[in-house]
A and B are shown apart, each in its own frame.
Chain A
Amino acid sequence: MTLATKQLTLSYGEKPIIENLDLQIPAGKITVLIGSNGCGKSTLLRSLARLLKPVTGAILLDGRDIFQHPTREVAKQLAILPQGPAAPEGLTVFQLVKQGRYPYQNWLQQWSKQDEQAVVQALQATGLTALADRPVDSLSGGQRQRAWIAMTLAQGTGTILLDEPTTYLDMTHQIEILDLLYELNETEKRTIVMVLHDLNLSCRYAHHLIAISNRQIYAQGSPEEIMTEQLVRDVFQLDSQIAVDPLYGTPMCIPYGKGRKLAQRTAVPQY
């Protein structure tokens, strides 16, 4: 399944947010959209999931305009987890994950064997089997987000889009979620496209990075390729130094600014 855009223009009202953008999402990889606040990365993601209609241009699923496909068929190939999803009070994890099977159900067939399998597997993959009958709102932030991800897993799609899945989580849970997504990509080869705020975590987990700036793609490629001080300056208006993450070897952005300055211990390797 290929996901791409062609000359895509998106806008809210009169102002265009994204203009004439061409994009190809690499299959089987983790792609992260980065950019400053309001640059349009969330908007772009949502339009990829057909939640937003383009002003001009198209989003192409397998070469065809995504709005030409029946929405149910699209749902079997693409799943999206929007930002800050809310579950009704008292809904259990199981009930939530089960909702992911919606595109496969009809009024007679609401709980086929495949449905059951998919839900069980999704719960296992996210480590929530023991919590299946707990209400979602009684879980911790990380567990809750895992439940939502389990729902998208149960949808059985090849591609999962996530809009800022870690934004409201503390560091432990951020790593928890990103690790989970990384594993899903490794073991099940699902294509993951997400919007992340944290630049360094993006560099660590992404195979492919797309920097959005000024209504266009500023640069795209592997983090090692595109992560430069120039990029950070242009996209984020920030002066920085790009270093090598001592644990993972991926690029690490160290911003200039105020703050206590202690004596430097060792020279940090740089790109």
Chain B
Amino acid sequence: MKANYSVRSRKFAVSLLISRRAFWTTVFFALITIALAIVSTGMGEMKISPAEVLKALLGIGSPQSALVITTLRLPRILVALLVGGAFGAAGAIMQAIVRNPLASPDILGVTGGASVTAVAFITIFQSASIFLLPFAAFAGAILIAFVLYLFGWKRGLGSFRLVMIGIGLKALTGALVTIFIVLAPQILTSKAMIWLTGSIYGTSWTDVSLILPWFLILLALASICARHANILQLGEEIALGVGSRLSRNQLCLMLICVGLTGAAVAIGGAIGFVALLAPHIARQLVGPSFGSILPVSVIAGSFIVLGGDLIARTAFAPLDVPVGAITSAIGAPFFIYLLYKNRGR
């Protein structure tokens, strides 16, 4: 079994098996993403070289760079990483539960649901604490997940049918989001618009602090539940046969997925296709084991949003295109390619 690293500690009663391929892929990909993050931090109206960025991060750079970086650039980069990572994780979990490569929170309308309640929260409860925003988004996401469950999952409908229902829900939530935007007071309109396509324009340290706890906690939970997600891939009967508490595990995983989606949407809006793309990239790189897919999917998601945001910020300078438009431009053709590959399932 040279393909794996075995980690055993009698003192801490821990034993893990880590796939070599997954480990090094994760490390490599993480390094690339960090490199991109550093370069991206340097890009903008005031160009800062990567070396200068590193110096600023270490506290030894010039004061002007440090100022720009810490107040403007860094929060946005961190948000991109966290939002992308959350979407990546959510997508990986959903594909494991639904067992269909076309499933993702945005295609199934869960992202849309989160958008509706998020935008409603912003426009209706203007004075409420912003820390409640992820909870509002979470509520919407849960609602849609519940509808999906009632209409599709419970009846034992195939996953294609589930995707159809999701498409309808997505259209419905899109209409509702538009209503809120139209009804919103003028000042909030542009802020509300991010929930149409997703954008991380103007994000601040507050946003980082909003999403960070959700991200860390839910990701930790997902890692703990990784082997439950893994066994689902062999089919329900096998899972039951090896003693998996199927319904409970599916519910837990769904809740984690919905939580991650809600948090990501609350901060970055409905950035489409990331949750679809990232797990696929992960699967191509490290194979089907969920424990390997999860970290790679997180990093892939971060990379996509980071890259997308970089393009969004710089390609049409000085204008700021919503990052959702970029990810859709890449993601939709990919989705179509997936459809082509999956025909007849």
Query: Which A residues form the contact surface with B (CB < 8 A)?
Result: 46, 49-51, 71-76, 78-82, 85-92, 94-96, 98-100, 102-103, 105, 107-113, 115-116, 132-133, 155
Q: A109–B227 Cα gap in the complex (Å)?
A: 11
Binds A, one of B10-18, B138-146, B172-180, B190-198: B10-18
Q: A108–B283 Cα gap in the complex (Å)?
A: 24
Question: Are B224 and A116 within 8 A (Cβ)?
Answer: no
Question: Are A90 and B240 within 8 A (Cβ)?
Answer: no
Question: Are A110 and B15 within 8 A (Cβ)?
Answer: yes
11 extra A-B contacts, CB within 8 A, seeds A96-B234, A110-B17: A73-B243, A75-B243, A85-B235, A90-B283, A90-B287, A91-B287, A91-B288, A100-B242, A103-B242, A109-B13, A132-B1
Chain B residues, Cβ within 8 Å of A82: 235, 237-238, 241
Question: Are B240 and A133 within 8 A (Cβ)?
Answer: no
Chain A residues, Cβ within 8 Å of B25: none
Nearest A-chain residue to B223, judged by Cβ: A107
From B1, B224, B225, B243, name the one whose CB has the most chain A CB atoms within 10 angstroms. B243
Query: Which B residues form the contact surface with A (CB < 8 A)?
Result: 1, 3, 6-8, 12-17, 224-225, 227, 230-231, 233-235, 237-238, 240-245, 283, 287-289
Chain A residues, Cβ within 8 Å of B7: 111
Pick from A90, A92, A108, A115: contact of B14, CB below 8 A: A108
Q: A133–B2 Cα gap in the complex (Å)?
A: 9
Closest 5 CB pairs of A and B: A75-B243, A111-B17, A88-B288, A72-B243, A103-B243
Given contacts A88-B288, A110-B16, A110-B227, contact A94 B1 (CB under 8 A): yes
Chain A residues, Cβ within 8 Å of B245: 71-72
Given contacts A80-B237, A82-B237, A88-B288, contact A109 B14 (CB under 8 A): yes
Question: Are B227 and A108 within 8 A (Cβ)?
Answer: no
Nearest B-chain residue to A77, judged by Cβ: B243
A-B contact pairs, 17 of them (CB 8 A): A49-B240, A71-B240, A74-B243, A82-B241, A85-B235, A94-B3, A95-B288, A95-B289, A99-B230, A107-B224, A109-B14, A110-B227, A111-B7, A112-B8, A112-B15, A113-B8, A155-B242
Nearest A-chain residue to B287, judged by Cβ: A90
Pick from B230, B234, B287: contact of A85, CB below 8 A: B234
Chain A residues, Cβ within 8 Å of B12: 108
Chain B residues, Cβ within 8 Å of A51: 237, 240-241
Chain B residues, Cβ within 8 Å of A81: 238, 241
Nearest B-chain residue to A76, judged by Cβ: B243
